[in-house]
Amino acid sequence: MESKVLRPAFDLLVKGGRVLDPAAGLDGVLDVGVRAGRIAAVDPHIPSDQGREVIDASGQLVTAGLIDLHTHCLPGLTYWGVEADAVGSRTGVTTWVDAGSASPYMLPGVRRHIVEPATVRILSFVNISTVGLVAPNFELSRLEFCDVDAVAKAASQNPDLVRGIKVRMGYPTAAEHGVEPLRRALEAGRRVGLPVMAHIAYAPPGIAEVVDLLGPGDIVTHAFTGLSMKLIDDTGAIRAEVVRARERGVLIDLGHGTGSLAFDTAEALLGAGFVPDTISTDIHQVSIVGPMFDLPTTMTKLLSLGMPLADVVTATTSAPARVLGFEHELGTLRVGAAADIALFDLIDEPHTIFDAHMQARQAQQRIRNSLTIVAGRPMEPRTLPRAAPWMQLTAAARQAEEGRHARHPGLPEVLREADDFGPPIPRELTS
- pLDDT at position 409: 47
As a whole number, the mean pLDDT across the chain is 94
Helix (H) or strand (E) holding 18: strand 10-21
What average pLDDT does range 147-167 have in this prediction?
98
pLDDT for the residue numbered 430: 62
Burial class (CB in 10 A: 0-12, 13-18, 19+), 344: buried
User: Is pLDDT at 15 greater than 80 in this prediction?
Assistant: yes
Query: Which amino acid, residue 81?
Result: G
Instruction: Average the pLDDT over 175-201 and give the result.
Output: 97
Residue 407: predicted pLDDT: 54
Is a pLDDT exceeding 90 seen at residue 266? yes
What residue ranges define each of the domains in the chain, with the CATH number in brackets?
A: 66-324 (3.20.20.140)
The beta-carbon contacts of 416-420 under 8 Å, at least 24 apart in sequence, are 416/351, 416/352, 418/354, 418/358, 418/360, 419/394, 420/290, 420/394, 420/396
- For residue 295, give the nearest of 1, 135, 69 by alpha carbon: 69
Virtual torsion, Cα 213, 95, 332, 31, nearest 10 deg? -160
Pairing mode, strands 51-56 and 10-21: parallel
Rg (CA), the chain: 21
- Asked if the model's pLDDT at residue 31 lies above 70, the reply is yes
Any alpha helices (H) in 21-118, and if so which ranges? 84-91, 107-110
Q: How far apart are CA 426 and CA 431, in angstroms?
A: 12
Which among 64, 97, 89 has a CA at the least distance from the CA of 331? 64
Checking if the pLDDT of 3 tops 80, the result is: no
Give residue 412's pLDDT band: very low, low, confident or very high (50, 70, 90). very low
d(CA 182, CA 206): 13
Binned at pLDDT 50, 70 and 90, residue 238 comes out as very high
pLDDT digits (tens, 9 = 90+) for 37-46: 999 999 999 9
Give pLDDT tens digits for 364-411.
999 999 999 999 999 999 988 889 999 988 888 888 877 766 554 444
Pairing of strands 219-221, 251-252: parallel
Distance CA 370, CA 350 (A): 19
Residue 121 dihedral angles phi and psi, to the nearest 5°:
-85, 130
- CA–CA dist 375, 167 (Å, integer): 32
What pLDDT, in 10s, does the model give residues 107-143?
Answer: 999 999 999 999 999 999 999 999 999 999 999 999 9
> Of 28, 45, 87, 91, nearest to 65 (Cα)?
91
- When pLDDT is averaged across residues 316-335 and rounded to a whole number, the result is 98
Band (414; pLDDT cuts 50, 70, 90): low
First to last CA, the chain: 88
Distance between CA 130 and CA 212 in Å, rounded? 25
What predicted TM-score, i.e. pTM, was given to this entire model?
0.96
Query: How far is the C-alpha of 411 from the C-alpha of 246, rounded, in Å?
Result: 35
**Cβ(414)–Cβ(403) below 8 Å:** yes
Judge residue 49's burial from the number of C-beta atoms within 10 Å of its C-beta, 0-12 exposed, 13-18 middle, 19 or more buried.
exposed
Mean pLDDT of 234-249: 97
Q: How far is CA 105 from the centre of its chain?
A: 24
